[in-house]
Structure 1
Amino acid sequence: MQKRERNKFSLWMLAWPIFIELFLQFLLGAADTLQVSKISDNAVAVVGFSTQLFSALMTLFMTVASGAGILIAQRLGSRQNEDARTIAIMSVKVSAIIGVGISLLLYLMPGQIASLLQLPDELLPLAKTYISIVGGGMFLVAIMAALSNAIRNTGNTKGPMYTAIGMNIIHVGMNYAFIFGKFGFPEWGLKGVALSTDISRLLAIIVLLIMFLSAFERQITLRDFKLFDRKLFKEILKIGWPLGINMSCWVFSQLLIYTYIAQLGANELSARTYMNTLESFCFMLGYSLALALQIMIAHLFGAGKVQDAYKTSYRALWIGLAIVTVNALVLYLIGGKLLEIFTKDPEIIALGGTLLGMNLLLQPGKMLNMGIGNALNAVGDTRYVMWTSVTSMTLIATVLSYIFGITLGWGLVGIYACMILDEYLRGLWVLKRWRQKKFMEKATVKASASSSSGSNSSTATVEI
């Protein structure tokens, strides 16, 4: 049993399903974009705009889901299964309530929101349709995120992977039927894409809910959703709100960077868009390892195996650095040929080649930042990670990139250089914090307090 538990929470067993899930979502997302492009360029613009809007709003309920995920892994590590179960139930319930609030806002005021965000007038009719339907179903995203996060942090990363794959295949299939009027359906165009999105998400929720109800030692029933523990919920928020700010900071910094690049011209914007596509493979590998590492360390930390958690982070980091560096090098060697698939413009290809070289520096910094940052999140040190993100993303990723890229005229290369500097600065900050072992001191104090108060046998002994 213990060996099976160790295998379940090993880095590889946790990471590969997450990577497959992300990679296939990327491929199917590209297919989705290709299908929408058959409607019109305006439809693609509306979907792209709406995706950015939805990503920004998602941080509101991801705050709860992410904080709960870390606590679930910690509680399972310390054998406090009932607490983990209660946290998971509250996460789903609260995320759903927040999601319903967002859905009502987007359903009732799609045009006003699009106009407020300066969407061109010619796109407003399509935006009203798409935002009202997909935005009106944001509560589905909230429930799905909470369910997936809870299940994943029990060590079951395969379940959400299979569900995500099935959901996206169904979505692409329904897009084909609804856009082009196949299999007896009317030609609904962008409205069909929106309906397909909501229906596929609803089907995914049904599958995830079945997994969720049996994810813990004691079966969850619908009656259990009445549960609410204020003390545990405060713990969720204590860990979760810095994660929410961190995610929001990243989303808005990316939006600002895109506005800077748009000022440089169409070629620069195209080069960055193509680079995003090429870089995504490196990013997904690193991000998968970082998420797996977070689950693994949270479980070890909850079990009181603090030294194991500390050492594991470095082993995982070296593996991650090796993998993303090799992938970035391969991408550099063949990236020029790949760019020629997307465009024949020599200026864009030349600019992309320069960025591919800079990507060799970017990816190791990103892996360092994600890996050790997620390790700190796993032990509850989310505020420190938040402050490093807010400081660096504000001063380096947004302000300095504008100065070098726009004011000093360095263009996209200047913006990219600032992105690299931002990743390494945050990475070195979190690495310094991790090496200080503040979380070990906290664990020692917690264990001493539990011992002196006569804690019961279910409390884990801290190993230092």
Structure 2
Amino acid sequence: MKKERQGFGLWVLAWPIFIEVFLQTLLGTVDTLMVSRISDDAVAVVGISNQLFGALTTLFTTFAGGAGILIAQRMGSKRFGEARTIAIMGVSVSLILGIVVSIILFFYAGPIAGILNISPELLSLSNVYISYVGGGLFLVGMIASLGTAIRNTGNTRGPMYTGVIINVIHIILNYIFIFGMFGLPQLGLAGIAISSIISRLVGVIMLYTMFRGSFEIKIRLRDFRIFNGKLFKEIIKIAWPLGINSSCWVFSQLIVYSFLAALGAEALAARTYLNTLESFCFTLGYAIALAGQIQIAHLFGAGKLKEAYRSAFRTLYIGLAIVTANMLLLFLFGRNLLGYFTSDPRIIAIGISLLALNLLLQPCKMLNMAMGNALNAIGDTRYTMYTSIVSMSIIGVGCSYWFGISLGWGLTGIYCCMIADEYVRGMLVLMRWRGRKVLRQADVLKSDENASIHRGSKRRASLSI
């Protein structure tokens, strides 16, 4: 994006991200509603498969995420050429990794379903869904990496417009392929796979066109051969802890879903339906947190350290207010909303039992997201990685199995452990941010640089005399 068209205000960044994420959430809801017309078993397959896809997508979008932070920092320090090079490398590496993952999913859907503890009666459905939706997963990586690069230049509207078009195409094609409109056969889950691939391909084309013009020098295909070792090391330094952090979360969720699968299809379907409703409540809070990360990275790159520190708390307070209000609405109307997805009284009862726990879970997630993103924005990604490894493995996974499976507390026990995990990580990243370790180091470095510049100016002045 051209410099004069950039904007790094919190709301300027946040509202297009909100609309984009809201539409993604809406797309997932429409998918779930349409799949629920096939069967609750199909919903269970989609729920656990999407957890797998989320985990694997993280593996090949992490590099782009690290690149995105550095893009925003470079834009803040006016080093636009370096921002362009970082963006190109971020997209290139994500594409290569995405293709490798897609090939594995396409050819090894059966063994992967076995690893996920998918019950035998669901295997035929899971093989279709994992093979074809997973086989096109590299398109998701391309959308994420291109969108991340564009967004961190300050242009959050472009990915939003793309999201609108992707959603419209996907919903229309879902309806056509799943239910066999216009004389076509009813394809069921295979129809979702086809519509996903087509709509995502359109999104990649749109974002790539936008990406080419996001910097002062237009990006061409031959530019993807660019490799800058120094900048690559900088990306890796931020990206590998960021990747382990994100991977810990998505893989812990995947393991928890495998626990739910062991509890039965009803628990798995209930969690999938409730997760869909939770996503709507959390969408605006997530958008605020992501916008805050971009803004803090930009301020940090510009050397505005006090403003960066205050921005994190502003992001947190706004996000908490929004998420809490939304969760209260879900608590009040959750029973009626669950009825739109399923008529099974046991599944509805399970979902209702979790609504009160969500009043505790979602604010903890907002705390963790806002302060964790703030640390990531200034490059302090190793700390968030360490807290994730310890808390998620011991509390998120270990305690979930102990309370949920071994002690027989079921889904309620697993939810209590999820709350404890989010709370512990949230408090740890909050204390780290309040300690200002990285900000103080940057302030000292900035003072040394200014002193060096001042000494150089005095020497030049004395020589001129």
Distance 1:281 1:379 in 2: 29
Which one-letter code corresponds to 1:319 in the other structure?
Answer: I
User: Counterpart of 2:99?
Assistant: 100
Q: Work out the percentage of aligned pairs sharing the same amino acid.
A: 61
Q: SS in structure 1 opposite 2:155? A: coil
Q: SS in structure 2 opposite 1:156? A: coil
RMSD: 2.9
Offset from partner CA, 1:27-61 (integer Å, 9 cap, x none): 22222233344555555444444323322211221
Deviates more, 1:304-313 or 1:433-442: 433-442
Contact 2:324/2:363 (<8 A) preserved: yes
Confirm whether residue 218 of structure 1 aligns to residue 238 of structure 2.
no
Confirm whether residue 250 of structure 1 aligns to residue 249 of structure 2.
yes
Map 1:327-406 to 2 at 5 A. 327-342=326-341, 352-406=351-405
Distance 1:242 1:18 in 2: 24
CA-CA distance at 1:177 after TM superposition: 2.8
Which one-letter code corresponds to 2:306 in the other structure?
Answer: Q
Distance 2:58 2:247 in 1: 6
User: Counterpart of 2:287?
Assistant: 288
Deviates more, 1:188-197 or 1:287-296: 188-197
Distance 1:219 1:49 in 2: 41
Deviates more, 1:432-441 or 1:349-358: 349-358
Map 1:119-198 to 2 at 5 A. 119-121=118-120, 123-183=122-182, 185=184, 187-198=186-197
Structure 1 residues 155, 238: closer, same or farther in 2, change over 3 A? Answer: same
Distance 2:442 2:337 in 1: 49
Distance 2:451 2:169 in 1: 56
Map 1:235-314 to 2 at 5 A. 235-264=234-263, 268-314=267-313
| TM-score, reference length from structure 2 | 0.88
Confirm whether residue 417 of structure 1 aligns to residue 416 of structure 2.
yes
| TM-score, reference length from structure 1 | 0.88
Q: SS in structure 1 opposite 2:214? A: coil
Distance 2:322 2:160 in 1: 21
User: Counterpart of 1:316?
Assistant: 315
Map 1:20-35 to 2 at 5 A. 20-35=19-34
User: Counterpart of 2:65?
Assistant: 66
Distance 2:263 2:94 in 1: 39
Offset from partner CA, 1:53-78 (integer Å, 9 cap, x none): 32221122111111011111011011
Deviates more, 1:66-75 or 1:391-400: 391-400
Distance 1:177 1:288 in 2: 31
Distance 2:414 2:39 in 1: 31
CA-CA distance at 1:150 after TM superposition: 0.3
Offset from partner CA, 1:380-421 (integer Å, 9 cap, x none): 001100111111111111222333334444443332222222
User: Counterpart of 1:462?
Assistant: none
Contact 2:29/2:276 (<8 A) preserved: no
User: Counterpart of 1:19?
Assistant: 18
Distance 2:345 2:40 in 1: 24
Please, which runs of 5 or more residues in structure 2 have no aligned partner? 457-465
Map 1:195-206 to 2 at 5 A. 195-206=194-205
Distance 1:174 1:33 in 2: 15
Which one-letter code corresponds to 1:164 in the other structure?
Answer: G
Q: SS in structure 1 opposite 2:375? A: helix
Distance 1:275 1:110 in 2: 26
Deviates more, 1:188-197 or 1:382-391: 188-197
Structure 1 residues 54, 296: closer, same or farther in 2, change over 3 A? Answer: same
CA-CA distance at 1:301 after TM superposition: 0.4
Offset from partner CA, 1:166-223 (integer Å, 9 cap, x none): 1121122122333344346555444333222112111111110111011112221222
CA-CA distance at 1:241 after TM superposition: 1.1
Which one-letter code corresponds to 1:221 in the other structure?
Answer: R
CA-CA distance at 1:242 after TM superposition: 1.2
Contact 2:282/2:362 (<8 A) preserved: yes
Deviates more, 1:263-272 or 1:296-305: 263-272
User: Counterpart of 1:432?
Assistant: 431
Please, which runs of 5 or more residues in structure 1 have no aligned partner? 458-464
CA-CA distance at 1:264 after TM superposition: 4.7
Distance 1:267 1:177 in 2: 28
